[in-house]
Chain A
């Protein structure tokens, strides 16, 4: 056929096998993506978030338990709760230190209860809470992941004594899907 032909017909017959393979692969990929997401929605798997985990440690007569978001996504509310327990109750303020770098991916709404004092100590953000009624202090960090956050961070929480010595400490990592 000459280059200046006025025919509107395609120059060659497309390979039906290739087209069929392309459609099948696309359909299979869609089914896989939707299937994984559906399994995550019913908690058969924990891949896409928001999924939380709990880590704990004890030392110096204090039990520390942190529930954190193991997997999350930008702009989603994600759990971050700290529980400090001391049998018999607390004699004085409870000092909790959190890795400052961990908070860089958070958009804070509030901290409950509010600390009576707050300071920094190197890489740590140190909160001081009035001793709770009973022998357990529960702190809830009401926040969501920053909308612009694209990668997760590792963090740590420690309980300090009055001389800033670490009584016990836990570490964790929050993974983000873009």
Chain B
């Protein structure tokens, strides 16, 4: 029943992939990034189930993913260090109204995206912002001065 082994490998590969992608990709995708998301399911499905068209195979593949999600969820709750490794850490990207260019460059976050996120929070000028934090989920939190 090697579906379990293949599903596990694909799960951890996808986990590495999502951790390696820039954080904003997770919430705010460019069209070319959306292409990957749309086709990812089809691409990996054959690698997991191959020619297995049985209900049993589908149940096992899904159960394997759900199992590892459950394990990681528990591990991130139990050990903070695991949480940082799996989910990432929040990063300050604006301090006292000034964008931190080094962090923006590392996260490949264009200033335009930062401005867009601020507008969505009703912030017209970054000078109003004491801190802006890029969360592990890819969302940007704003703390006003």
Q: Is the CB of A18 closer than 8 A to any CB of chain B? A: no
A74-B54, A177-B54 as given contacts; A30 in contact with B66, CB under 8 Å: yes
Assembled-state Cα–Cα distance A114/B3 (Å): 34
Q: Annotate A31-51 by CB proximity to B: 1 below 8 A, 0 otherwise.
A: 101101110110000011100
**Is A54 an interface position by the 8 A CB rule?**
no
**CB-defined contacts of A147 to chain B, threshold 8 Å:** 53
A41 to B64, CA, bound (A): 13
- Whether A73 touches B63, Cβ cut-off 8 Å, given contacts A34-B4, A37-B3, A40-B1, is no
Q: Does B45 contact A (CB under 8 A)?
A: no
- Say yes or no: is A162 at the interface (Cβ < 8 Å to chain B): no
Contact check, B5 vs A38: say whether CB atoms are below 8 A apart.
Answer: yes
Contacts of A60 in B (CB 8 A): none
The answer to whether B56 touches A30, judged by C-beta atoms less than 8 angstroms apart, is: no
B51 close to A (CB within 8 Å): yes
**How many B residues have CB within 8 A of the partner chain?**
20
In this complex, the interface size class of chain A, counting residues with CB under 8 Å from chain B, is 20 to 34
Rounded to whole angstroms, the CA-CA distance of A56 and B86 in the bound complex is 54
Chain A residue at smallest Cβ distance from B64: A34
Task: Count chain B CB atoms within 10 A of each CB in A34, A36, A48, A74 and give the residue with the most.
Answer: A34
Asked if residues B1 and A48 are in contact (CB atoms below 8 Å), the reply is: yes
| A36 contacts across to B, CB distance below 8 A | 1
A residues adjacent to B (C-beta < 8 A): 26-27, 30-31, 33-34, 36-38, 40-41, 47-49, 73-77, 144, 147, 177-178
Binding site for A on B (CB under 8 A): 1-5, 51-57, 59-60, 63-64, 66-67, 70, 74
Known: A34-B64, A75-B52, A75-B54. 18 other contacts (CB 8 A): A31-B67, A33-B67, A34-B4, A37-B60, A37-B63, A38-B4, A41-B4, A41-B5, A48-B60, A73-B52, A73-B57, A74-B53, A74-B54, A76-B51, A76-B52, A77-B51, A147-B53, A177-B55
Between-chain CB contacts (< 8 Å), 7 pairs: A26-B70, A37-B63, A48-B60, A73-B57, A74-B54, A75-B53, A77-B51
